[in-house]
């Protein structure tokens, strides 16, 4: 009888676990199908867009604990018909929790345009890195939009104790000139001039980015403030945090970056 | 004999088994470290399954459980941890000779997740106050109820099925920080479990 009771309870628990309210662990990797491989799914959507010579994308980041504000960025981006895709520059979550990845992506499902992301240092907390890998995909990847190549890079140096991050060998390979693209934009959460970017990698990063003269922008987040500056000859744009209720509209043309402007909502 | 069987069960399974608290005299005789019950729980942000020994005092009005938690790969793991759970059950209502209800449980839980990816305080490589919270330790509050039977089942002389609603510090924080988009219900989670008294 006791065994039957135990088996019944076990089966009941297994059945109930299908319900979202039965949360198994703050750092459990989400198992929902819609939360798997989002990078790949969104890159497929981007690949279906016929890229014009001049296009705009929406950069925003550091959504973190500001979920009310992050929910409001979605209609704001949707309202700008120039924007063809959006880029989250990292720190999607505050604590790297399962539930944050679920909730924030529920908002992002409302975006009219595809969304690609880079991982931020907060996203790596606890088991957050494994959750990011499952929800989005690789932490370093690239895609093309017309003649522009986007190089998405994990630059969260301080989060890795036993590994040199960012992976500059990979970056260098990806920035070698190819006939399929003319210009590149590097997107990474931690800016290369920040203390959280591994100090001994800053000069090599700058050298790689400048070597072929094809990188038109180094796009970042992390510092919770907007910046648009030339740092050692490299144009650095840093998107603001969501709490400040603005995103960055970046317009790219055949000659490079045409315009960078903040859009408040 | 029942105590012997229960003690053996406690040692072998580490889920605990103690003597039946048939009366206060017997209760007083029982070594304090021998558990009174085995507890098995699903969810509650502790694990896909969490199980371990539980102790009770004051005619089971106060519980303390030590639960080892596990999230298997199919549920989003592998994650392991340990939780300490203390709760009060102020009343018990007998439905008939065999069945009872305990309509209210109030408690608190502290859960520690094992692994080098989790910290109690941020590692030295970060500047001061870089992360001013723990990733390894979660604290939570809970309320629940149970139904049970006092029928003897093998060495179990009392079985209860409980359901709990709870919250953890970070779930509550995200609700408080985002009142427009994250209602209180988003901060709450459920747990279901069983208590087997020996």
Provide the token pair at A86: 């959006």
Element (H, E) at B186: none
Q: Which helix (H) or strand (E) holds B100?
A: strand B99-113
Strands A234-238 and A215-220: parallel
Instruction: Answer yes or no: do B153 and A1 touch at CB < 8 A.
Output: yes
Q: Which two tokens stand for residue B156?
A: 């179990």
Reading phi first (left if > 0) and then psi (alpha if -120 to 50, else beta), residue B52 is in: left
A–B interface: beta-carbon pairs under 8 A:
136
Mutation target among B76, B99, B185 for the A interface, most CBs of A within 10 A = B76
Three-state DSSP class for residue B80: strand
**Secondary structure of residue A199 in the 3-state scheme:** helix
Q: Which of B66, B47, B46 is nearest to B56 (CA)?
A: B66
Residue B18 CA: distances (Å) to CA of A91, B83, B86, B160, B196: 49, 20, 18, 16, 11
Contact present, A220 and A209 (Cβ < 8 Å): no
Question: What residues does B87 pair with on adjacent strands?
Answer: B63, B107
Minimum Cα–Cα distance from A134: chain B residue: B76
What is the rounded distance in angstroms from the CA atom of residue A74 to the CA atom of residue B108? 38
Is A118 in contact with A188 (CB distance < 8 Å)?
yes
ipTM of model: 0.85
Of B113, B173, B196, the CB nearest to A27: B113
Distance from CA of A225 to the nearest CA of B (A): 17
Tens-place pLDDT, residues A47-59: 999 999 999 999 9
If one counts every other C-beta atom within 10 angstroms of the C-beta of residue B182, the result is 19
Mean pLDDT of the B115-136 span: 94
Distance CA A124, CA A120 (A): 7
- Residue B195 forms beta bridges with which residues? B39, B160
- Domains and their CATH numbers in chain B: 37-197 (2.40.160)
B195 lies within 8 A of chain A by CB: no
- Cβ atoms of residues B43 and B25 within 8 Å: no
Interchain pair A26, B138: CB under 8 A: yes
Q: How many whole angstroms separate alpha carbon A212 and alpha carbon A86?
A: 26
CB atoms inside a 10 Å sphere around CB A18? 8
Report the alpha-carbon distance of residue A54 to residue A252 in Å, rounded.
6
Q: Mean pLDDT of all residues in chain B?
A: 87
User: Tokens in use for B22?
Assistant: 């048939």
Do residue B182 and residue A6 have CB atoms under 8 angstroms apart?
A: no
d(CA B108, CA B143): 9
How far is A104 from A168, CA to CA, in rounded Å? 30
Counts of helices then strands in chain B (DSSP H, E): 3, 9
Give the CA radius of gyration of chain B.
19
* Letter string b/e over residues A76-108, b meaning 16 or more CB atoms within 10 A of that residue's CB: bbeeeeebbbbbbbbbbbbbbbbbbbbbbbebb
Task: Measure CB to CB from residue B153 to each of A5, A17, A23 and give the nearest one.
Answer: A5
**Single pTM value for the model:** 0.88
- Show Cβ contacts of residue A162 under 8 Å, excluding neighbours closer than 6 positions: none
pLDDT of residue B145: 96
Full pLDDT tens readout for chain A, 265 residues: 444 544 454 454 455 454 579 999 999 999 999 999 999 999 999 999 999 999 999 999 999 999 999 999 999 999 999 999 999 999 999 999 999 999 999 999 999 999 999 999 999 999 999 999 999 999 999 999 999 999 999 999 999 988 999 999 999 999 999 999 999 999 999 999 999 999 999 999 999 999 988 999 999 999 999 999 999 999 999 999 999 999 999 999 998 998 999 999 9
- Torsion angles phi and psi, residue A2, rounded to 5: -60, -40
pLDDT digits (tens, 9 = 90+) for A123-162: 999 999 999 999 999 999 999 999 999 999 999 999 998 8
Q: What is the pLDDT of residue B32?
A: 83
């Amino acid at each position: 009888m006791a065994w039957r009771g135990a088996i019944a309870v076990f089966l009941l628990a297994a059945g109930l676990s299908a319900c979202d309210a039965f949360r198994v662990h703050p750092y459990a990797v989400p198992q929902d199908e819609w939360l798997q491989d989002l990078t790949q799914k969104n890159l497929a959507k981007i690949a279906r867009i016929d890229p014009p010579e001049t296009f705009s994308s929406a950069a925003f980041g550091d959504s973190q604990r500001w979920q009310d504000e992050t929910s409001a960025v979605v209609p704001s981006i949707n309202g700008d018909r120039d924007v063809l895709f959006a880029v989250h520059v990292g720190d999607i979550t505050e604590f790297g929790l399962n539930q944050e990845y679920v909730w924030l992506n529920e908002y992002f499902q409302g975006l009219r345009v595809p969304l690609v992301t880079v991982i931020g240092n907060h996203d790596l907390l606890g088991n957050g890195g494994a959750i990011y890998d499952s929800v989005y995909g690789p932490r370093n990847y690239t895609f093309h939009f017309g003649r522009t190549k986007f190089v998405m890079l994990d630059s969260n140096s301080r989060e890795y104790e036993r590994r040199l991050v960012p992976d500059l060998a990979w970056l260098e390979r990806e920035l070698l000139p190819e006939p399929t693209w003319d210009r590149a934009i590097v997107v990474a959460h931690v800016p290369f001039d920040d203390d959280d970017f591994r100090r001994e990698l800053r000069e090599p990063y700058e050298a790689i980015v400048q070597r072929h003269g094809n990188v038109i922008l180094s796009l970042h987040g992390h510092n919770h403030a907007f910046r648009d500056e030339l740092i050692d000859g490299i144009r650095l744009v840093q998107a603001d945090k969501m709490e400040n209720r603005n995103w960055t509209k970046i317009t790219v043309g055949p000659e490079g970056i045409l315009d960078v402007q903040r859009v408040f909502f | 004999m029942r105590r012997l069987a229960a003690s053996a069960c406690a040692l072998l399974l580490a889920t605990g088994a103690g003597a039946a608290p048939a009366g206060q005299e017997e209760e007083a005789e029982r070594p304090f470290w021998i558990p009174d019950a085995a507890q098995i729980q699903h969810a509650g942000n502790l694990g896909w399954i969490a199980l371990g020994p539980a102790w009770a005092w004051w005619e089971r009005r106060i519980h303390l459980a030590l639960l080892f938690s596990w999230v298997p790969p199919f549920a989003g793991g592998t994650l392991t941890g340990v939780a300490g759970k203390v709760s009060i059950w102020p009343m018990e209502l007998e439905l008939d000779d065999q069945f009872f209800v305990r309509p209210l449980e109030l408690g608190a839980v502290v859960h520690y997740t094992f692994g080098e990816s989790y910290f109690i305080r941020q590692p030295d490589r970060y500047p001061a106050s870089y992360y001013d919270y723990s990733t390894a330790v979660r604290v939570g509050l809970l309320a629940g109820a149970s139904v049970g039977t006092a029928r003897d089942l093998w060495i179990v002389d009392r079985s209860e099925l409980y359901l709990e609603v709870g919250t953890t510090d970070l779930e509550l924080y995200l609700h408080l920080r985002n009142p427009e988009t994250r209602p209180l219900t988003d901060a709450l989670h459920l747990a279901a479990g069983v208590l087997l008294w020996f």
